[in-house]
Amino acid sequence: MPVKNTCKMSAFIDYIIRHSYYKEVNSTYILAKERHTEAFSLWLQEQTQTIGDDYESKKYVHAHIQEIKRLDNCIRIVNNAIRSSKKSVEWFFHDRGTDSIPILKSKDYELIADNISVIRQYESYIREYSNLVIVQKEAIDRMIGQSLSNHSFEQIRLIATSKRELVRISEVIKKAHSCEKNFLTHGIFIRMVVPLSIYQ
């Protein structure tokens, strides 16, 4: 019996004998296409067999709908993470030897979703770092040993987790600036009231 006729027969038998299952297969296929569009499209690209809109293809989709739903959930998590802090996701891939976010496949979405707590920690570091750069720039430069407009992820982590140390360094810097100011002020005052010959 030709394959096409076999498919038609399968659909006919399910429609007559297992009508509720037949309806479920079709409704599941529509659900995958219309409600889980991005996940379904990506899932389709990664299948080794051709998936059409014939009944056997719909049965195949129905059999894998939980996989598609899980992928859809992962995609939502990742898209939210990127919208919230793209840099934290870049940091996650940097740790794995990639300089930027690659074109994401199913396994990448699942990997990020499984490690979302790590990415949220990176986001927390970046937020703390951004605040500290505004108020503790000179102390950061002293701690790092150089003045930079951009810091590496490793430096961002160090800065974000060194708030107490930065406060201590900042206090030392303030005292040094105060001493310098007092010295210059008193030096000028002395030169004004003491005869010039005393400095000669």
> Rounded to whole angstroms, what are the CA distances from 147 to 44, 126, 137, 138, 173?
50, 18, 9, 8, 15
Give the pLDDT score at 14.
Answer: 58
pLDDT of residue 175: 82
Check if the beta carbon of residue 61 is closer than 8 Å to that of residue 29: yes
Tell me if 120 sits within 8 A of 154, measured CB to CB: no
Ramachandran sector of residue 52 (left: φ over 0; alpha: ψ -120 to 50; beta: rest): beta
pLDDT in tens, the chain (200 residues): 444 444 555 555 555 556 688 889 999 999 999 999 999 999 999 999 889 889 899 999 999 999 999 999 999 999 999 999 999 999 999 999 998 999 999 999 999 999 999 999 999 999 999 999 999 999 999 999 999 989 999 999 999 999 999 999 988 888 877 766 665 555 554 444 434 343 33
* H, E, C per residue of the chain: CCHHHHHHHHHHHHHHHCHHHHHHHHHHHHHHHHCCHHHHHHHHHCCCCCCCCCHHHHHHHHHCHHHHHHHHHHHHHHHHHHHHHHHHHHHHHHCCCCCCCCCCCHHHHHHHHHCHHHHHHHHHHHHHHHHHHHHCHHHHHHHHCCCCCCCCHHHHHHHHCCHHHHHHHHHHHHHHHHHHHHHHHHHHHHHHHCCHHHHC
* pTM tops 0.85: no
What's the pLDDT at 141?
94
